[in-house]
Amino acid sequence: MQPQQFILNTPTKSRIAVAMSGGVDSSVAAALLRQEGYDIFGLTMRLPRSREFLAESPPPDADDEPMYIQDARRTAENLGIPLYVMDIREQFREQIIRYFCEEYYAGRTPNPCVYCNPTIKFGTLFGYAQALGAEGMATGHYVKREYHAAYRRYVLRAASNAAKDQSYFLYRLSQEQLARSLFPLGGMTKEEVRHIARTLGLQEVAEKSESQEICFVSDQSYQQFLDTYFPAGKDLSGNITNTSGRVLGTHQGIHLYTIGQRKGLGVALGSPRYVVELNPETKAVVIGENQELFSSRFSARDLSMMALERLSAPLNCQVKIRYRNAATPATVLPGETPEEAIVILEQPQRAVTPGQSAVFYDGDIVLGGGIIERARIS
């Protein structure tokens, strides 16, 4: 149960910030680095609660410290390290939550973690860490980082525990960010992490349940959360059509649907139908049969390459089209601009969803990725 060794090209006594969320993963990451002799301190982000988002005035408990920060403080005290809390609520609202909502209203299904990691966690938060004297920053992500001799660049590798691997969410990290990052849990399982927490006396965090997928949607449904974004009275309605354009019904907003959805369509046709396309220009929700959900190619935008400086030639690799999907063989072709690509899949994939990330792998090595723009292209 030995954690991987961590190399920052700095002496062992380097000063390292640990992004602490109050959960077991970041707590154990901090404990392991402290045991290895690093001079560490904790950093915790104060994020907006969902009921604070775009509120005209702060809620009555706006100044109360959230439980996750209290948990991080207790862990830091148990480890004998300082903890600093950074209030980034306003920046998080503007850069992450606004993006999340606007993508849904544009008919796309976003993954905010993909942008939060390079922008907030390894961007803004590390800026605070540097101001406090840190040379690097560690997190509790399940992923491995190394300098790859063949690529001559820093890369991420999938975690040893495939079920917990989080490399998909980190493909947008820059070389500068990778060079100063530490991931102590990359070679461990969740049970090993919980066991270490118990042996260190961190019983409370050891027994905490898994964090939810979207950290800022805590006490509302997605629909309730998204409804706070646009003022009441805005007309978001449109038609539900089949793939030939025939109108089958109406809906109250494309943000209420995602590709592949079957339930809650509001139309009865005698056999299962699924959302196959969302059109923000016409506000149409297009439904079809299951076979119409499969795509053999799609376009991607906002490319971010990791193992390669840029995509300059066809790339044979494996592609994940969403976090829980297995990677599938594909060829990635350069697009019209350096930020665009066409992905040709060896086997058609179901429900290729605009707004999600397509992440390119060479085995367990992250090559890069981009945001799915459009499926079912010719």
**Which residues contribute to the annotated binding site for ATP?**
19-26, 45, 140
Q: E strands along 208-326, which residues?
A: 238-242, 247-251, 274-279, 284-288, 294-305, 315-320
The Cα 48–Cα 68 span in angstroms is: 12
The Cα 230–Cα 252 span in angstroms is: 13
The Cα 176–Cα 193 span in angstroms is: 28
- Which DSSP string corresponds to 30-95? HHHHHHTT-EEEEEEEEPPPGGGTT-SS--TTTTSPPHHHHHHHHHHHHHT--EEEEE-HHHHIII
Of 146, 150, 153, the residue nearest 307 (C-alpha): 153
The Cα 101–Cα 110 span in angstroms is: 9
The gap from C-alpha 68 to its chain's centroid, in whole angstroms, comes to 19
The Cα 230–Cα 236 span in angstroms is: 10
Catalytic annotation on 215?
yes
Alpha-carbon dihedral 309, 297, 299, 237, rounded to 10 degrees:
-150
The Cα 337–Cα 331 span in angstroms is: 17
The Cα 376–Cα 368 span in angstroms is: 22
**Please, are residues 240 and 266 in contact by the beta-carbon 8 Å criterion?**
yes
Selecting among 101, 113, 116, 317, the annotated active-site residue is 116
Catalytic annotation on 317?
no
Residue bearing tokens 């449109």 = 238
- Which DSSP string corresponds to 316-344? EEEEESSTTSPPEEEEEEE-SSTT-EEEE
Q: Which residues are catalytic?
A: 116, 215
